[in-house]
Structure 1
Amino acid sequence: MNDLNPDVPYNANTELDQWLKANLLDVYNSEVIYRYSRYHHEYDRNITPIDVDRVQPFMETVIGGFANPYVAVAGMPFMKVNMPKQWVLYGSSSYSSTTVYWGSAVGGVRVNIFDLNNFSKSNTSLVRDKLGTIHHEFTHILNQRVIIPAEFREISKSEYTGDWQNMTDAQAQNLGFMRAYSAQNPMEDFADMVKYPVVWGPSWFENLIRTRTSAAGAAALRAKEQSVLQYFNSGLQIDFRELQKKVQLYLKDTIKDPEVTFPYWINQGLYRTVTIAPDDQMYQDYGSSDVFNTVYNNMKTYMAGLGRTLLNMQLRFNTPNSLTVRLNYLSGTSAFAADYDFAFATNANTGITTFTKVAQSGTTGSYSNAQIFVSGFETTIQAYLTSGTFIADWIPLSAPASVYAKIAGFTKSGEPGNYFYGTLGQTL
């Protein structure tokens, strides 16, 4: 075997070699092997060498979406100790008789990454896939330092199977796994429970939970999430949510991956409400916009003049293209709602968002209540929302990682100090 891919001797000190030395070897004592050598993979496989033009873009992604986030949350000494000492890069996948392998961790010191000849930083799904492989394999390395919690092994103990290859991902997810591959043993299960929430993100994970047809499967996924959090936060002294946030921001801001954005998940129907309550402590802690506060308080004053107390404002996404702005208020001690209908559009790639007032879809109940305040609403909140375009995003970024993807909002285009945000909800 391997007669198609003769070994390529190490015979040059190219510009690429110098870059790898400066950014990986000198920083982390981590060697990148990209010249083909059969020594580093299984003897019975034919694996294509990596195209040299793919090496630096891929390792830039490793640094940006893996090494830098870990350094930021765990510190450089941690990464100098735990960073894989060898990265071996291959162009094609590695095929056994039954399985396609995208990566492997060897001896706690080496990571093999396959299927890189199609890699491009402009292909966001490929970047996500490769970063997922890296975080998965690195978790195996961490598990050799700190073992998997005993309680994690028990959550799906009766569901692990050697027949996982005959299981669909959807079937596996309803049993409490991220995918069929996870169902083979606790080690792969745990690595995937790190991989997907960190790289695909907290919203992806919430959507997975939301769409499970099995309550037991959803409960198992929640239990595993908590076990992973405990493992990182206590066992490794690493803030898992902060790691998650750092990777998500890299994918959003550097790679421009639309599938980790707030607009994308609005359009997917995951988030149905944003509740804005400027009197809440959250806005004291994380900041707020004076421009929006003035608009909101003017409406609050208008309602107070009519004997009502404004409690909060809620955006309610009826569909990805329509929403209702609900004002929740008190009349005396009784709670009521006033609803105003808008057309809504948000671009998953740019976040550019428009609000357009449309005809009310009802005349009774909350729509009847809306008529009481319509004059004040038109000159305050309606005028504000329809005054131009906004950018939808996870804001404010100054908020702690524990609430990343749990709060979000909209910033007026070109006006960074003009924004509003609130707590996200998944049901109307």
Structure 2
Amino acid sequence: MKKIVIYLLALTLTGCLWSCDDDKPSGHSIFDTTVGPENEFEEWLLYNYVYPYNIEVKYKMEDIEADMKYTLAPAMPDKCIALSKVIKYLWLEAYDEVAGLTFTRTYTPRVIHMIGSGAYNTNNTVVLGTAEGGLKITLYKVNDIDPEHVTAAQLNDAYLKTMHHEFAHILHQTKNYSTEYQNITGKDYIGDDWSSNSQTEALARSKGFISRYARYSADEDFVEMISIFVTRDQDAWEAMLEASNTVAEGNKETGKALLEQKFEIVKDYLKNSWGIDIYELRSVVQRRGNSLGQLDLTQI
């Protein structure tokens, strides 16, 4: 009886092997295994983002790429074309000019994700951008851009300040800044309370913060200093410092004095850690912003 079972098992296995052998695919796949640009914009992205910087621009809505806690709308292609050209000219190429292509290619994120609407929070704030572990930057409110009537000031407030802000996060997450920075105004970081009505811009400045949001944490404070400095000209920066030239209750120094201490650490950090002169970076960003009119943002 045992022999019969063994023989039957052997015959069964032989049959399976023969059957599997017959199932081997032959010829070409029924699926298209080639991957390439689907349209002229994607071809432009290939030559202007993927090849030089190894950056993928995602402009079609993908749930897996978005934060599910927000109700979001996809970005319109014409808006994405305009913003892609702006980011390359005013952000990527600005760092190329100051720090070199190798630096930009190495430390910029691998993905830029564009979303049409803003990400609105329950505390009446809106998220303009996020950075995820140095790998991806997400930009919101892309549909707000007007390709035919755009200025550097509008772009700075809506998008470019966000790009510099999030990129500065990537830099300090790679090489951290001095712990002395957070000690300057450490008692006045307040987390989510920065957005409450009582926490005004004027109060933040008097306490030594360049913006209300800078009071969220030392990291946010640090990158706000960089992003605001490089997207403002010297006159605008000086005006911010002068508006901070008051002493907040409980403080011994003026907000201006505290901001100047912070700025020295920021300046030294960029120079010593990355070889970047923050004044040169701002000069390049400003010059490119002033020549933005040379770009045609309406077509590839």
TM-score of Structure 1 vs Structure 2, range by shorter chain: 0.7 to 0.9
Match of 1:126 among 130, 147, 154: 154
Match of 1:223 among 228, 248, 261: 261
Counterpart contact for 2:120–2:126, Cα < 8 Å = yes
Q: Structure 1 segments of 4 or more deviating over 6 A? A: none
Query: Which residue of 2 is the match for residue 105 of structure 1?
Result: 131
Match of 1:165 among 168, 179, 195: 195
Confirm whether residue 70 of structure 1 aligns to residue 95 of structure 2: yes
**Whole-angstrom CA distance in 1 between matches of 2:36 and 2:71:** 23
Residue 68 of structure 1, CA deviation = 0.9
Q: Which secondary structure state, in structure 1, belongs to the residue aligned with residue 43 of structure 2?
A: helix
Q: Deviations over 1:312-364 (max 9, x none)?
A: xxxxxxxxxxxxxxxxxxxxxxxxxxxxxxxxxxxxxxxxxxxxxxxxxxxxx
**Whole-angstrom CA distance in 1 between matches of 2:285 and 2:146:** 18
Counterpart contact for 2:210–2:224, Cα < 8 Å = yes
Query: Which residue of 1 is the match for residue 182 of structure 2?
Result: 153
AA of the residue aligned to 1:120: D
Query: Which residue of 1 is the match for residue 57 of structure 2?
Result: 32
Normalising by structure 1, what TM-score? 0.56
Query: Which residue of 1 is the match for residue 230 of structure 2?
Result: 198
Confirm whether residue 142 of structure 1 aligns to residue 193 of structure 2: no
Q: Which runs of 5 or more residues in structure 2 are unaligned?
A: 1-34, 248-253, 295-300
Residue 203 of structure 1, CA deviation = 2.1
**Whole-angstrom CA distance in 1 between matches of 2:283 and 2:291:** 12
**Whole-angstrom CA distance in 1 between matches of 2:243 and 2:278:** 24
Q: Which secondary structure state, in structure 1, belongs to the residue aligned with residue 145 of structure 2?
A: coil
AA of the residue aligned to 1:214: T
Query: Which residue of 2 is the match for residue 188 of structure 1?
Result: 220
**Whole-angstrom CA distance in 1 between matches of 2:164 and 2:245:** 28
AA of the residue aligned to 2:150: N
Match of 2:288 among 246, 250, 253: 250
**Whole-angstrom CA distance in 1 between matches of 2:235 and 2:85:** 25
**Whole-angstrom CA distance in 1 between matches of 2:207 and 2:293:** 33
**Whole-angstrom CA distance in 2 between matches of 1:70 and 1:203:** 23
Query: Which residue of 1 is the match for residue 141 of structure 2?
Result: 115
Confirm whether residue 61 of structure 1 aligns to residue 86 of structure 2: yes
**Whole-angstrom CA distance in 2 between matches of 1:248 and 1:104:** 24
Percent of aligned pairs with the same amino acid: 28
Residue 12 of structure 1, CA deviation = 6.3
**Whole-angstrom CA distance in 2 between matches of 1:11 and 1:44:** 32
Q: How does 1:309-328 map to 2 (within 5 A)?
A: none
AA of the residue aligned to 2:225: M
- Structure having the higher helix fraction is 2
Q: Deviations over 1:79-117 (max 9, x none)?
A: 111111100000000112223100000111100000010
**Whole-angstrom CA distance in 2 between matches of 1:171 and 1:205:** 17
Confirm whether residue 51 of structure 1 aligns to residue 76 of structure 2: yes
**Whole-angstrom CA distance in 2 between matches of 1:69 and 1:149:** 26
AA of the residue aligned to 1:208: M
Normalising by structure 2, what TM-score? 0.79
Query: Which residue of 2 is the match for residue 175 of structure 1?
Result: 207
C-alpha RMSD of matched pairs (Å) = 1.7
Match of 1:237 among 275, 278, 291: 275
Q: Which secondary structure state, in structure 2, belongs to the residue aligned with residue 97 of structure 1?
A: coil
Q: Deviations over 1:173-206 (max 9, x none)?
A: 1111121111010111011000111012332111
Residue 224 of structure 1, CA deviation = 1.2
AA of the residue aligned to 2:266: V
- Structure having the higher strand fraction is 1
Q: Which secondary structure state, in structure 1, belongs to the residue aligned with residue 236 of structure 2?
A: helix
AA of the residue aligned to 1:35: K
Counterpart contact for 2:205–2:243, Cα < 8 Å = no
Counterpart contact for 1:84–1:111, Cα < 8 Å = yes
Q: How does 1:5-44 map to 2 (within 5 A)?
A: 13-44=38-69
Residue 11 of structure 1, CA deviation = 9.8
Q: Which runs of 5 or more residues in structure 1 are unaligned?
A: 1-9, 257-428
Q: Deviations over 1:374-394 (max 9, x none)?
A: xxxxxxxxxxxxxxxxxxxxx
**Whole-angstrom CA distance in 1 between matches of 2:177 and 2:122:** 29
Q: Which secondary structure state, in structure 2, belongs to the residue aligned with residue 117 of structure 1?
A: helix
Question: Structure 1 residues 255, 104: closer, same or farther in 2, change over 3 A?
Answer: farther
* Deviates most, 29-38 or 196-205: 196-205
Residue 213 of structure 1, CA deviation = 4.4
Question: Structure 1 residues 12, 246: closer, same or farther in 2, change over 3 A?
Answer: closer
